[in-house]
Amino acid sequence: MGMTITEKILAAHAGKDSVAPGELIEARVDLVLGNDITAPIAIKEFRELGIDAVFDREAVALIPDHFTPNKDIKSAEQVKILREFAREFGIVHFYDVGRVGVEHALLPELGLTRPGMLIIGADSHTCTYGAMGAFSTGVGSTDMAAAMATGKAWFKVPESIKFVYEGALNPYVNGKDLILHTIGDIGVDGALYKAMEFTGEAVAQLSLEGRLTMANMAIEAGGKNGIFAPDDKTVAYVKSRSSKPYTVYASDPDARYAELREYDVSRIEPLVAYPHLPENVRPARESGIVIDQVVIGSCTNGRIEDLREAAAILKNRKVNGNVRLIIIPATQEIYRRAMEEGLLDIFVAAEAAVSAPTCGPCLGGHMGILAEGERCLATTNRNFVGRMGHPKSEVYLAGPAVAAASAVLGRIAHPDELK
């Protein structure tokens, strides 16, 4: 019996010829990630172990992105813990204000995530890097501490669900719509502790940015990880950012799957997830919900492709007078490219606020907190109760084109409604 791409990566890192779903393994890790919320806890646990070095100072990444620049004394103290630990232990990949970006956009950009790697991070959206053919998953801060010390972690090999996307994408439909449609189909626990393997001709049409968006939201369906088999686009992306070696894996034709789901993407249109779960999916053109705020950014949709899509909608238009539009490029490099391409001029002319890279409003941290009764349409990944502020506020999820069009119209809308 063959193995899936997820099983092959886990087997290789466990030093085994093969693994099977449900099997418990100890595997070496290639990269350990923490941020300004989770890493301080891991650092405390690490120090209590009494160890005088991390397993590999180039294989630990500390990214203070959630409250950057620091919003208050507490967040400043959190980042200070990371900064001092990085200096003491010689952590190569620590990035502070002016160099930092949203972690799940920054690490691929830096070439730190490559095909065949095993990556763990003390952040649930670490599953993002599966877009590049890596096994990547979120862990707790204690597991992060142990991995920083030993370079290893324990895993239960997950079953895999195969998602096949066929057909041609409709205008304005991208990875965000494909993953929202999928979560709407299977539910927020439909892939609980399973590997979500994405494939099909429509996936091949997606850019790496679109695939990163899909893998990012695998956790919103309960997935252990999301993963794509690397192709020419993946290899080109990786080679443009890193000269380090990597290994390409693909699932065997006779690999075992717990389930097979097939979708005709020509039937998918721009979507919106209603409060308070990402599974509450409806077509954008059927909404009309009046909104107070729009956020375009985050580890889900803050990449240059997303900003270009928003700018194409906003050019020569103004944000509705009753709406606050906040745009957050996910990294410094994305910010620079948006500036060079004139996107920032378009945003400012449209009367949007443009921020330095930060997670900010996505988790209700800063840069756009909602008051009671307010509604926000966001390109982020979660819309739980109180996610962006007051527990009686509401968050709706969509892609950049829908978000930009809605900011102009003052209500959730399909971009075609601007014509």
So what's the pLDDT on residue 188? 95
- Beta-strand runs (E) in 206-257: 225-228
Average pLDDT, integer, range 90-111: 96
Angle between helices 73-89 and 39-48 (to 10 degrees): 50
- Per-residue pLDDT band for 227 (boundaries 50, 70, 90) equals very high
pLDDT at 1: 78
Token readout for 147 is 């991995």
Position 74 pLDDT exceeds 90: yes
DSSP state of 35: E
* pLDDT tens per residue across span 169-220: 999 999 999 999 999 999 999 999 999 999 999 999 999 999 999 999 999 9
- The stretch 336-348 carries a mean pLDDT of 98
pLDDT for the residue 43: 97
Q: In 3D, which of 39, 226, 213 has the Cα closest to residue 137? A: 226
- pLDDT band with cut points at 50, 70 and 90 for residue 269: very high
Element housing 198 (H / E): strand 194-199
pLDDT at 252 over 90: yes
- What are the DSSP calls for 101-132, one per residue? --HHHHHHHTT---TT-EEEESSGGGGGGGGG
**Which residue is it, tokens 């100890």?**
26
Asked if residues 29 and 40 have their Cβ atoms less than 8 Å apart, the reply is no
* CA angle at 177 for the pair 64 and 301, rounded to the nearest 5°: 25
Structural tokens at position 305: 């492709």
Q: Which residue has the tokens 């590997």?
A: 195
pLDDT in tens, 113-126: 999 999 999 999 99
d(CA 344, CA 348): 6
**Distance (Å, rounded) from C-alpha 122 to C-alpha 296?**
24
Q: In this predicted structure, what is the pLDDT of residue 194?
A: 98
Domains recognised in the chain with CATH numbers: 9-263 (3.30.499.10), 271-414 (3.30.499.10)
Q: How far apart are CA 156 and CA 374, in angstroms?
A: 42
3-class DSSP state of 338:
helix
User: What was the pLDDT predicted at 419?
Assistant: 80
